[in-house]
Amino acid sequence: MKKDVVVIGGGLAGLVSALGLARAGLQVAVVEKRAYPFHRVCGEYVSNEALPYLRRVGAQISTLNPARINNFMLTSPTGASLHAKLDLGGFGLSRYTLDNYLYKLAEAQGVTFLLGQTVQQVSFADNRFTAQLSSGTSIKAEVAIGAFGKRANLDRQLQRSFFQVRSPYIGVKYHIRHDFPRDLIALHNFKNGYAGISAIEDGKHCFCYLTTRDNLKAHGSIPAMEQAILYRNPHLRRIFSEAEFLYPQPEVINEISFATKTCLENHMLMCGDAAGMITPLCGNGMAMAIHAAKIATDQVLLYFGGSRTRQELEQQYTLAWKKQFAGRLRLGRTVQQLFGGPLLSEAAVGLLKAVPPAVQLIMRRTHGRPF
């Protein structure tokens, strides 16, 4: 199979990249290991900064009836809270719905999807990529975009440095029905972790938390850990006690790494979480994935238009990516260090409550402007 671009991974970054490139007339293939629609471990909140570009690629998000979110709440492990307005605001939409919608849009634009398959190896020779798939198919393309998420076997094949170190973090996600306000996103701290809750479509809420593997090991199971640790925060205890949980087992992901990554590997443009993941505490991963897709699309189109050599494509993508995201990722890692330990979390919430401008500053520094 020969294409202009092969996109490895069909999450937000991969789907939006494929959609933008196909709308500009390029031949694009996307390889995704699962079949749409499906759930992902994700906070499912998108900053409104992403709306202009989504409209540019033909995505009419309002037709999906997302929740509109304009207020923020942060609580300490003992339940002390602070409230703030979200400067830009955002919307809540499940990945089950959003990814499936973008997949259908991309397919209608002529994108070729190879679902239920993984890329086993990617090689670059004679100015062209060859991606070998688990099905035995090979795809040859002039440009490759790596959008395969937080951690994948390709990271091992590419010998990426972060892959050599185990990450202590796990993520757990539920969909629930609850009387929680639909215009509010809340982050509730607990020992060695924090949980987020916000509304999505169809009267549901996304309830997702990050904690450590040690927390889980100490209690033997997710329900036991939740009762022993998360219930100590009264806001979380109320959610677990009163909400209707819509599927019996949560979605779980291991080895979530916030380590520094690179946005270019063996001439492949890395995009979304494959290039770097902001801590969920900052609530902006989905918008960043969409923005990264825009940056990749813009640079790839310049390359195919003859305005960039491959070397210039790689240099300009790297510069644009770092300018947009490197500072946000650093600040996200710094902010995360303030939370998790009960005493430090209590102090951090107390300090931020006493200095409201600091909350707005962190929000502005971890979010971008509409693009």
Note the pLDDT tens digit of each residue in 27-46: 999 999 999 999 999 999 99
The two beta strands, 251-256 and 169-177, are: antiparallel
The pairing of beta strand 193-199 with beta strand 251-256: unpaired
Span of 94-98, 105-109, 156-160, 196-200 with lowest mean pLDDT: 156-160
- Residue 206 pairs in a beta bridge with 175, 198
Neighbours of 70 (CB within 10 A): 14
Domains of the chain: 2-366 (3.50.50.60)
**Separation of alpha carbons 205 and 180, rounded Å:** 8
Residue 19, pLDDT score: 98
Q: What is the pLDDT of residues 221-280, one digit of tens each?
A: 999 999 999 999 999 999 999 999 999 899 999 988 888 899 999 999 999 999 998 887
Q: Which residues of 98-111 are buried (b: 16+ CB within 10 A; e: fewer)?
A: bbbbbbebbbebeb
Residue-wise pLDDT for 129-155, tens only, equals: 999 999 999 999 999 999 998 888 899
105 touches 59 (CB < 8 A)? yes
Rounded Cα distance between 177 and 20, Å, is 35
Residue 163 has pLDDT above 90, yes or no: no
3-state secondary structure of 203: coil
91 vs 290: CA distance, rounded Å: 14
DSSP-assigned states of every residue in 229-277: TGGGSHHHHHHHHHPEESSSS-EEEEEE--S---SEETTEEE-GGGT--
Write the DSSP assignment of 304-317 as a string of letters: HTTS--HHHHHHHH
User: What pLDDT was estimated at residue 135?
Assistant: 95
User: From the CB of residue 32, how many other CB atoms can be counted at a distance below 10 Å?
Assistant: 25
Q: What is the DSSP letter of 69?
A: E
Q: How far apart are CA 29 and CA 142, in angstroms?
A: 12
Quote the pTM value.
0.94
Longest CA–CA span in the chain (Å) reads 60
CB count within 10 Å of CB 19 equals 28
| Cβ proximity of 43 and 208 under 8 Å | yes
* Category of 294 on φ-ψ map: left (φ > 0), alpha (ψ -120 to 50) or beta: alpha
CA–CA distance, 173 with 177 (Å, rounded to integer): 13
DSSP 338: T
The rounded distance, in Å, linking the Cα atoms of 241 and 326 is 40
281 vs 80, residue with greater confidence: 80
Residue 167 structure tokens: 């990450």
pLDDT digits (tens, 9 = 90+) for 82-108: 999 998 999 999 999 999 999 999 999
